[in-house]
Amino acid sequence: ALKAGIVGLPNVGKSTLFNAITQAGAESANYPFCTIDPNVGVVEVPDERLDKLTELVQPNKTVPTAFEFVDIAGLVRGASKGEGLGNKFLAHIREVDAIVHVVRCFVDENVTHVDGKVNPISDIQTINLELILADLESVEKRIERSRKNIKGGDKKYAQEVEVLERVKEALYEDKPARSIELSDDERLIVRDLHLLTLKPVLYAANVGEDEVATAEENPYVKQVREFAAAENAEVVPISAKVEAEIAELEGEDKEMFLEELGLQESGLNRLIKAAYKLLGLYTYFTAGVQEVRAWTIRKGTKAPGAAGVIHSDFERGFIRAEVVAYADLLAAGSMNGAKERGQLRLEGKEYLVQDGDVMHFRFNV
Ligand code: GDP
C-alpha cells in the first residue's frame, strides 16, 4: 500500500495528529493487507462518489479505499550526521511515497519550541536541510562510483554524472531535488537513488484550537503558503488538537461539533484527500449488491493491473473489463440504464483505467 510519512521538528504536534489518525482509523478487518505496526495508521479515504454509489446500488456493505500514514518521530537537527538516531529516521523516510511535514503555527507558552520561538519557515528549513544533506551524501557517493565506471568506457555513466552533478548543484543551493526539471530519462537515473528530497511534500500547518475557522488569517500559515508555493508544495491548515477531539466523535455528534467549529469537514479528511492527490492516485469502484467498494491505483494503470489490486488471480486471468464512468452511471440511474444508453463499454488489456471508473472484471481462473 502507498504510504505518507509524517515528519517535523519535536513539539510541533506530530503525535497529536498521528493519534487522531489512529483514533479515526479504518476498520482493520476490511484491510487485511495493511501493515500492522504501531507507527502506521490506516485511514479510509473519504469519497462522496462512494456514498452516491451506495445509495444507488443498496449493497450489503460499503468499503472505502484506504491509505497509510507512518509516524516518523525523532527527526532533529543533525540527523544527517547520525545524531539522535537520525539516520534511522532518514531510512524510514526513504520508504514512504510522500511526506507530510507538520509545521507549528500555534502559539502556546506552555509548549516549548526547540528553537525558542515559533518560526515555521525556519523549522521547515531545519528539517529540509537534514534531508538535503542526506541526499548530498547519496549523490556524491554515486557520482564518485559513476566516474570510475566512465573510465571503463561506458557512455551511460557519463550521462549519469552529468545529471547527478546538476542535482548536486541544486542541493548545494539548498534546493530540494524535486525542484529540478528532469526529462523522463533523467528521472529514471535519479529515481534509482531514492532521494529524500525528490518525494512530494505536503505541509500540515498546525494552528491553535481557537483558530480552525480562521486559519488562513494566521500570519504563520500565510508564511508557509508563500514558502510552499515557491517549491510547488501543498499546504493543509489543520489543528492537531481539534482533530484529536473530532476523531473521538461519530455520526451526529461529529457533525454538530464540526458545525460549531465552522468547518465543512474535518481537517483530517482534507489532509487525507490532499495526500491522495499529491501521490497522483486514482480511485475506481466495484459495485455489486454484496459490496460497493473503492480501490486505489496509480494514474496510468491498465485494466489488468487495476484488477490485480483486488486479487492477483484477477490480473493473471484477466480477459476484459466492463466499464462505465461514474458520472454516466449516476446519470443513468442503474447499470441497465447505462447499458441501454450505450455507456457500458467492454475494455481490454491495454485500457488505461480512469479516475471514477466503475468496473466489473471477467477473468479465467
Ligand atoms: P510532537 O513532538 O511533534 O509529536 O508533538 P506533540 O503532538 O507531542 O505535541 C507537543 C505539545 O504541543 C503537546 O503538549 C500538545 O498537546 C501540544 N499541541 C499540539 N497541537 C497543539 C495546538 O494546536 N494547540 C496547542 N495549544 N497545543 C498543541
DSSP codes joined into one string, 232-269: T-EEEEE-HHHHHHHHT--HHHHHHHHHHHT-SS-HHH
- Does the Cβ of 15 fall within 6 Å of ligand 1? yes
CATH number of the structural domain spanning residue 328: 3.10.20.30
Cα separation, 234 vs 59, whole angstroms? 36
Structure confidence at residue 116 (pLDDT): 76
The average pLDDT across 23-52 equals 83
Closest CA to 24 of 264, 291, 281, 267: 267
Structure confidence at residue 91 (pLDDT): 83
Cβ atoms of 123 and 30 closer than 8 Å: no
Residue 153 has pLDDT above 70, yes or no: yes
In a domain, 193, yes or no: yes
Structure confidence at residue 80 (pLDDT): 66
Centroid of chain to Cα 207: 21
C-alpha pair distances (Å), 154 with each of 27, 138, 147, 160, 188: 53, 21, 10, 11, 17
Tell me: do 36 and 72 sit in the same domain.
Answer: yes
In a domain, 327, yes or no: yes
Residue 236 has pLDDT above 70, yes or no: yes
Ligand 1 center to 239 CA (angstroms) = 10
Closest CA to 292 of 219, 358, 200, 221: 358
CATH number of the structural domain spanning residue 141: 1.10.150.300
* pLDDT tens-digit readout, 2-12: 889 999 998 89
Structure confidence at residue 61 (pLDDT): 95
Tell me: do 232 and 108 sit in the same domain.
Answer: yes
- Does the Cβ of 199 fall within 6 Å of ligand 1? no
Cell of 283: 480511485
Pocket test for ligand 1, best of 106, 111, 268 (most atoms within 8 A of CB): 111
In a domain, 121, yes or no: no
Cell of 331: 446519470
In a domain, 321, yes or no: yes
Ligand 1 center to 12 CA (angstroms) = 6
Q: Is the ipTM value over 0.90, yes or no?
A: yes
The DSSP bridge pattern shows strands 66-71 and 3-7 to be parallel
Listed residues 197, 227, 244: the one ending a domain: 197
For 50, counting Cβ atoms within 10 Å of its Cβ (0-12 exposed, 13-18 middle, 19+ buried), the class is: buried
Centroid of chain to Cα 308: 21
Cα separation, 12 vs 114, whole angstroms? 9
Tell me: do 245 and 193 sit in the same domain.
Answer: no
Tell me: do 104 and 16 sit in the same domain.
Answer: yes
Cell of 250: 461519530
Residue 83 has pLDDT above 70, yes or no: no
Of the pLDDT bands very low, low, confident and very high (cuts 50, 70, 90), residue 111 is confident
Listed residues 197, 215, 236: the one ending a domain: 197
Tell me: do 226 and 135 sit in the same domain.
Answer: no
Structure confidence at residue 141 (pLDDT): 93
Tell me: do 226 and 87 sit in the same domain.
Answer: yes
Residue type, position 216, single letter: E
Cβ atoms of 126 and 9 closer than 8 Å: yes
- Average model confidence (pLDDT) across the chain: 90
CATH number of the structural domain spanning residue 228: 3.40.50.300
Closest CA to 103 of 279, 5, 238: 238
Tell me: do 26 and 75 sit in the same domain.
Answer: yes
Residue 352 has pLDDT above 70, yes or no: yes
In a domain, 56, yes or no: no
Listed residues 149, 173, 197: the one ending a domain: 197
Structure confidence at residue 285 (pLDDT): 98
Range of the domain at 167: 130-197
- Does the Cβ of 11 fall within 6 Å of ligand 1? yes
In a domain, 125, yes or no: no
Ligand 1 center to 170 CA (angstroms) = 34
Compute the Cα dihedral for 217, 220, 221, 227 and give only its sign. Answer: positive
Cα separation, 224 vs 356, whole angstroms? 32
Cα separation, 111 vs 129, whole angstroms? 24
Share of the chain above pLDDT 70, in %: 96
Name residues whose C-beta falls within 8 Å of residue 296's C-beta, 6 or more positions apart in sequence: 1, 2, 45, 65, 66, 67, 276, 281, 282, 283, 309
Residue with CA closest to ligand 1 atom 25: 208
Tell me: do 85 and 157 sit in the same domain.
Answer: no
The average pLDDT across 330-344 equals 94
- Does the Cβ of 239 fall within 6 Å of ligand 1? yes
* pLDDT tens-digit readout, 95-107: 899 999 999 999 8
Residue with CA closest to ligand 1 atom 22: 208
Structure confidence at residue 16 (pLDDT): 93
Q: Which residues are annotated as a binding site for ATP?
A: 11-16
C-alpha pair distances (Å), 130 with each of 31, 66, 135, 196, 250: 34, 30, 9, 10, 40
Phi, psi of 66 (to 5 degrees): -120, 170
* pLDDT tens-digit readout, 261-294: 988 889 999 999 999 988 889 999 999 999 999 9
Tell me: do 228 and 333 sit in the same domain.
Answer: no
In a domain, 295, yes or no: no
Of the pLDDT bands very low, low, confident and very high (cuts 50, 70, 90), residue 305 is very high
The average pLDDT across 21-45 equals 80
Residue 79 has pLDDT above 70, yes or no: no
In a domain, 214, yes or no: yes
Tell me: do 86 and 212 sit in the same domain.
Answer: yes
* pLDDT tens-digit readout, 156-184: 888 899 999 999 999 999 999 988 888 98
Tell me: do 185 and 219 sit in the same domain.
Answer: no
Tell me: do 14 and 153 sit in the same domain.
Answer: no
Structure confidence at residue 74 (pLDDT): 65
Structure confidence at residue 76 (pLDDT): 66
Look at the chain and report how many structural domains it folds into: 3
The average pLDDT across 32-61 equals 89
The average pLDDT across 105-134 equals 87
**What does pTM read for this prediction?**
0.88
Residue 49 has pLDDT above 80, yes or no: yes
